[in-house]
Chains A and B, each alone.
Chain A
Amino acid sequence: MGLRISILLFMFYSLNLYSLDENYFNELKTKVNLQKDEQLVVLFQSIGNCSRCYVLPLDQVSKLKQEGKVTKCKLLALVICDRDLELNIYKKQHAWKYYLYRDDGKGHKRLEAKETTYLSVFDYYGKKIYEME
């Protein structure tokens, strides 16, 4: 009996650990006003990132577009910082023209991404289409 409960608890914990935080995903969808036929491209970023950490995921988005894996998308940079005000630093450093959202450090976990992931692509329903580490 105890073993069964332990297994159930472990499964419940595992599912929670690796499942998408729907509320958070909806927050992001609202932020970019995502339409049903669009994909959400999330770049996991930090302020003061080197150019390479910024260029590589953008290059990958271009490739995905060429390959037809991404057709119509909204680009969102999820930037780790403490205050919304600090998003302006990122915006200026990269002349960023797309959507920006503050990441309190839990963004990867909420979007079921590994710590080393720097690009995730989702469809409207939150299904992960692509991930780059």
Chain B
Amino acid sequence: MKQNKYYLKVIVLLFFVSISNLFSKISIESKTTIEENEDCIFQTISYIDVSNDGNRILISDAQSGTICQINYSSGKIINYLVPDLTLCDIVANSTARPYKQWEMKNNKVVETLNWKFITFKQAENIYPGKQNQETMFGLIINNFSISKYNKTGIISLSNIDVPKISDPFVSIFVQGATEFFQFDNNLKGIKIFPLNQENKDIPPIPASSNFCIFKNYYYITSLDPSRASVDKKSDSLPILAVYDKNGNFIKIKRYLPYYYEFSELGYTLTDRSLLLANDEDDLYASFWFVDYIDFLNKSYHLKLKDLPYAQKDDFRKLKKYCLEKGSFDVHYYEIFRFLPLMINNIIPVKNDIAVLSSIYTVTGKEYILKEYYLQLYHKTGELVKQDTISNNNKNGALKYVTYNKAKNKLLLFRKDDKKGWSMETAKWD
């Protein structure tokens, strides 16, 4: 009897501990201003990585194209790199080849033209003239879209505009190429790591890609908008491709989720990219409008809990709306009307997984980001902590959340129209 009472007390205690955890609050501990200068201005943040020792923050801004290392404690710039035109020639002088283009002829998939990249000097020799240089080659925009620390320094997935020429010569053009560049920790010693894109079954890597390196394999967002028309298929649209350490395509690892295909919205809802993250254990993937996280290595599915909206039913409503409207070309205000909750980031935290989501409200054709929702899950699927984060506070609008493993701090990056960028360090009570 006494023993039973003891067990009951323990159960009640554990229940209250778990309840109190779910109501735990995120508290802001400090705020650091992020330095900018004339060459290094952040319009947005496409990705943030933290060095293993926790002392350096690597910021990628796909819009301005720059990558920059910031001192964690002071927020001061350590170094930065602007993606200039020399990158185009590095691509042209490497083994990188433009994506092959295919079309249907007599019921067969055939290559349209054989292209190769050329340097600016070669392009000028073929197509000389100041006018052309100003209108064609003078307007090249390169960017380091997502950069991460790896074993040997920093690796960056970059979108580079490179002149290309058909072989035999029919025309000359500029094409965007998505390539990996490797640097040392001082952003020097640049090397290209070209991906082999020779096979027609390899889906192209879009400009706004995401990537992870896991156990020496490269997992890269890949999609093929032409697949549906060429293969006459509207299902099984590829979204994630695996390459080996030599840049050779291995296989498609993930396809678009059922609800994206079922709703016939396909890639419409994937115009940014797949959400990807990894730690030593596994590789985690999700999509903006689903309610689960895939553990790709263990083939395990973490179902998100306690979310304020049930996304599954709302895909049906969105599809019905599109059918009535007569078009699947939808704006965000239309999407958010049916799918008001969007997953923004997957953040491995120690041995757990944090998931950041945002909630939108729609009035007419305007949509407003109401608040963020941060949840912490054990890898077994148990929800252990959750809290809301206000989109706006005195430091500005929340733009990015990540985790500094070495310092055990959540990092919240905010942007204020007048005060600029700042980093708040936060702790989960």
* Contact surface of A with B, Cβ cutoff 8 Å: 46-51, 54-55, 58-59, 81-83, 85-86, 88-89, 93-95
Contact mask B51-64 → A, CB, 8 Å, 1/0? 00000000000111
B106: interface (CB < 8 Å): no
Q: Is B141's CB under 8 angstroms from A93's CB?
A: yes
Docked complex: B137-159 residues within 8 A CB-CB of A: 138-141, 143
A/B interface sample: 13 pairs, CB < 8 A: A46-B63, A47-B43, A47-B64, A48-B64, A48-B65, A50-B176, A51-B139, A55-B135, A83-B420, A85-B36, A86-B41, A89-B64, A93-B64
Contact mask B30-45 → A, CB, 8 Å, 1/0? 0000001010010100
Residue of A nearest to B420 (CB): A83
Q: Is B141's CB under 8 angstroms from A82's CB?
A: no
Q: What CA separation (Å) do A72 and B257 show in the bound complex?
A: 54
Minimum CB–CB distance for B64 against chain A, Å? 5
Q: What CA separation (Å) do A129 and B46 show in the bound complex?
A: 39
Residue of B nearest to A52 (CB): B139
Partner of B415 from A47, A50, A82 at Cβ < 8 Å: A82
A88-B38, A89-B63 known; A81+B43 contact, CB < 8 A: yes
Q: What CA separation (Å) do A46 and B415 show in the bound complex?
A: 18
Q: What CA separation (Å) do A58 and B62 show in the bound complex?
A: 24
Q: Is B174's CB under 8 angstroms from A86's CB?
A: no
B429: interface (CB < 8 Å): no
Q: Is A47's CB under 8 angstroms from B63's CB?
A: yes
Q: What CA separation (Å) do A33 and B140 show in the bound complex?
A: 30
Q: What CA separation (Å) do A107 and B65 show in the bound complex?
A: 25
- The residues of B that contact A89 with a CB separation of less than 8 Å are 41, 43, 63-64
Q: Is A94's CB under 8 angstroms from B139's CB?
A: yes
- The residues of B that contact A58 with a CB separation of less than 8 Å are 135
Q: Is A86's CB under 8 angstroms from B135's CB?
A: no
* Contact surface of B with A, Cβ cutoff 8 Å: 36, 38, 41, 43, 62-65, 135, 138-141, 143, 161, 174, 176, 415, 417-418, 420
- The residues of A that contact B63 with a CB separation of less than 8 Å are 46-48, 89
Q: Is B138's CB under 8 angstroms from A50's CB?
A: no
Q: What CA separation (Å) do A47 and B141 show in the bound complex?
A: 10
- The residues of B that contact A85 with a CB separation of less than 8 Å are 36, 41, 420
Q: What CA separation (Å) do A103 and B63 show in the bound complex?
A: 16
Minimum CB–CB distance for A87 against chain B, Å? 9
Q: What CA separation (Å) do A94 and B135 show in the bound complex?
A: 11
- The residues of B that contact A51 with a CB separation of less than 8 Å are 139-141, 161, 174
Residue of B nearest to A46 (CB): B63
User: Which 6 pairs across A and B sit closest by C-beta, in order of nearness?
Assistant: A48-B63, A51-B139, A89-B64, A47-B63, A86-B43, A47-B43
Minimum CB–CB distance for A55 against chain B, Å? 6
Q: Is A50's CB under 8 angstroms from B141's CB?
A: yes
Q: What CA separation (Å) do A94 and B65 show in the bound complex?
A: 13
Q: Is B41's CB under 8 angstroms from A95's CB?
A: no
- The residues of A that contact B65 with a CB separation of less than 8 Å are 48, 93
Residue of A nearest to B82 (CB): A92
- The residues of A that contact B43 with a CB separation of less than 8 Å are 47-48, 81-82, 86, 89
Q: Is A83's CB under 8 angstroms from B141's CB?
A: no
- The residues of B that contact A46 with a CB separation of less than 8 Å are 63
Q: What CA separation (Å) do A48 and B140 show in the bound complex?
A: 11
Residue of A nearest to B63 (CB): A48
Q: Is B62's CB under 8 angstroms from A48's CB?
A: yes
- The residues of B that contact A59 with a CB separation of less than 8 Å are 135
Q: What CA separation (Å) do A68 and B122 show in the bound complex?
A: 37
- The residues of B that contact A95 with a CB separation of less than 8 Å are 138
Minimum CB–CB distance for B185 against chain A, Å? 25
- The residues of A that contact B143 with a CB separation of less than 8 Å are 48
A47-B43, A89-B43 known; A82+B417 contact, CB < 8 A: yes
The listed residue with most A CB atoms (<10 A of its CB), out of B41, B43, B140, B176, is: B43
